[in-house]
Amino acid sequence: MLLEGRWVERDATTEILDPYDGSVVDTVPKADLADAERALSHAERAAASARAWPVHERMRVLAGAASLLDQRRELFATRIASEGIKTIREARREAIRCADTLRIGAEEARRLHGETIPFGQVPGSERRVGAWTPEPVGIVVAITPYNDPLNLVAHKLAPALAAGNTVILKPDSRTPLSALALVELLIEAGLPEDIVQVVTGPGSEVGATLIRDRRPRTVSFTGGRATGERIAREAGLKKLSMELGSNAPAIVLSDADLETASAACVAGAYAAAGQNCLHVQRLLLHEDVAQEFLERFLAGAHATTTGPKLDEGTDMGPMIDEEAAKRVEATVRDAVAAGAKVLSGGGRSGTVVEPTVVSDVPAGHPLELDEIYGPVSMVRTFTGPDEAVAVANAVDFGLQAGVFTRDLESAFRMAEALHYGGIMVNDSSDYRIDAMPFGGVKGSGLGREGVRYALEAMTEPKLVCFARS
């Protein structure tokens, strides 16, 4: 791990296991509380040099790392697939996106500016001039998840570095290899080694220490809601940026293009084996088109292949571990026991859960209200748009929603009525580009990702006012 400006080993290590077959991919140091304190003390010292790091150098490093990543895309894709849940084809797409995220960071560093203030708007202040500028917060603690182990690291590092901060990165303990490789790439591109630290260790110990300490001014976290709520309780007076998942609906109106809608929803339901905050969990179908849509969707679910992640023909990989797979399986079984029907899938083999479709889920069941975080989608019909909106808004999440319709007025009405951070019209909830503001309402989190928008949480406005004689 990268600590105090140098790569270090520890006697205590953590094995990184391939979740598909349990094989050991690599080992990393297991940081302890003393390592977390070292990282914090060093970050406090390094904040001044990070702030003084010239903007043109920040731009050069981020753009240079993007170019290096383009050249080594297959190497990074293989690493992503080996340590995590993604198939090789999914991993390649993540590597491409990561390079784009880094380039956006370079561009946003160029655009980091404030604005003048017309003090003369107040009587007696006519002879005052001034402006505000965005200043780095100093120390950013970044905590990243396992489902996008490369690009979501870039979504923390790119804005933090563009703004002139020092960063303590705590990647998910199960998938730290991609994060370590990305930081190595940034250093190769010219990043000073003392500006970013990567601490590999258990979140319950190391992560908690980093969060509670008074020296970091921003905590950027992507992960589960329960952990996010704990961070909010323990962090103290800090800026918090948290993306905490969702229970996303795809609403198919009676005039939808069913071929487009079903294909988009199948992709959104089973990408990353459903371990995705944008996962299409609820299929809300107008009763006039429900049967035809469902026939198309079930055909897509049946055609989704599982298998070794590095096999080019594999569509869907495993859950992150067997405990997660058993949790998803148990949730489906509980829904069936309460009266639901499995229309497709429902089985499990080790860490692999079959692409699953469930109907007749009882009202109030966890599969309807909570985030399943697995390859399971439930079906429910509606008779009119108002009913669809009410059902979609009835959960305590609100990241993104998908709406399928050919009618522009219907699209506008649905977009206005849905209480979500993003509305994807004629796309599933599982659509994102890395330049857009990304985040949710209600239990889906605080703030927005996307480099430009993450910068807001990683900078503070400094005002300077001159009183002229």
Query: Which residues neighbour 259 within 8 Å (Cβ) at sequence distance 6 or greater?
Result: 296
Q: What percent of the chain has pLDDT over 70?
A: 100
Does one domain contain both 293 and 149? Answer: no
135 touches 459 (CB < 8 A): yes
Q: What angle do CA 225, 164, 197 make, to 5 degrees?
A: 60
Does one domain contain both 201 and 297? Answer: no
Q: What is the pLDDT of residue 203?
A: 87
pLDDT, average across residues 73-83:
98
Q: How would residue 204 be classed by pLDDT, with cut points 50, 70 and 90?
A: confident
Give the structural domain span for 95: 2-245+443-467
pTM of the model: 0.96
pLDDT, average across residues 398-422:
98
Does one domain contain both 182 and 47? Answer: yes
Nearest 10 degrees: CA dihedral of 24, 25, 31, 35? 160
Does one domain contain both 238 and 252? Answer: no
CA distances from 218 to 4, 113, 191, 212, 237 (A): 20, 20, 21, 11, 9
Position 40 in a domain = yes
Q: What domain count does the chain have? A: 2
Does one domain contain both 285 and 237? Answer: no
- How far is the C-alpha of 30 from the C-alpha of 1, rounded, in Å? 9
Q: How would residue 294 be classed by pLDDT, with cut points 50, 70 and 90?
A: very high
CATH number at residue 367: 3.40.309.10
Does one domain contain both 260 and 392? Answer: yes
Q: Does the pLDDT at position 278 exceed 90?
A: yes
pLDDT, average across residues 425-451:
96
Position 121 in a domain = yes
Q: What is the pLDDT of residue 36?
A: 97
Does one domain contain both 63 and 21? Answer: yes
115 touches 131 (CB < 8 A): yes
Class of residue 467 by CB neighbours under 10 A (exposed 0-12, middle 13-18, buried 19+): exposed
Q: Does the pLDDT at position 300 exceed 90?
A: yes
Q: What is the pLDDT of residue 48?
A: 97
Residues labelled catalytic? 243, 277
CATH number at residue 128: 3.40.605.10
Q: What is the pLDDT of residue 154?
A: 98
Q: What is the pLDDT of residue 469?
A: 87
Does one domain contain both 8 and 137? Answer: yes
Does residue 210 or residue 469 have the better pLDDT? Answer: 210
Nearest Cα to 328, choosing from 268, 395, 269, 261? Answer: 269
Position 165 in a domain = yes
Position 438 in a domain = no
Does one domain contain both 160 and 120? Answer: yes
The tokens describing 49, both together, are: 């040099």
The tokens describing 287, both together, are: 């009763």
Q: How would residue 16 be classed by pLDDT, with cut points 50, 70 and 90?
A: very high
Does one domain contain both 165 and 302? Answer: no
Nearest Cα to 428, choosing from 307, 274, 312? Answer: 274
Tell me the per-residue pLDDT of 320-379, one tens digit each, with 9 for 90 and over: 999 999 999 999 999 999 999 999 999 999 999 999 999 999 999 999 999 999 999 999
Rounded to 5 degrees, what are φ and ψ at 10?
-140, 150
Q: Does the pLDDT at position 147 exceed 90?
A: yes
Counted residue by residue, the chain has a size of 469
Does one domain contain both 237 and 330? Answer: no
Does one domain contain both 126 and 34? Answer: yes
Over the chain, what is the mean pLDDT?
A: 97
3-class secondary structure per residue, the chain = CEECCEECCCCCEEEEECCCCCCEEEEEECCCHHHHHHHHHHHHHHHHHHHHCCHHHHHHHHHHHHHHHHHCHHHHHHHHHHHCCCCHHHHHHHHHHHHHHHHHHHHHHHCCCCEECCHHHCCCCCCEEEEEEEEECCEEEEECCCCCCCHHHHHHHHHHHHHCCEEEEECCCCCCHHHHHHHHHHHHCCCCCCCEEECCCCHHHHHHHHHHCCCCCEEEEECCHHHHHHHHHHCCCCEEEEECCCCEEEEECCCCCHHHHHHHHHHHHHHHHHCCCCCEEEEEEECCCHHHHHHHHHHHHHHCCECCCCCCCCCECCCCCHHHHHHHHHHHHHHHHCCCEEEECCCEECCEECCEEEECCCCCCHHHHCCCCCCEEEEEEECCHHHHHHHHHCCCCCCEEEEECCCHHHHHHHHHHCCCCEEEECCCCCCCCCCCCECCCHHHEECCECHHHHHHHCEEEEEEEEECC
Buried b (16+ CB within 10 A) or exposed e, 249-280: bbbbbbebebeebbebbbbbbbbbbbbbbbbb
Position 138 in a domain = yes
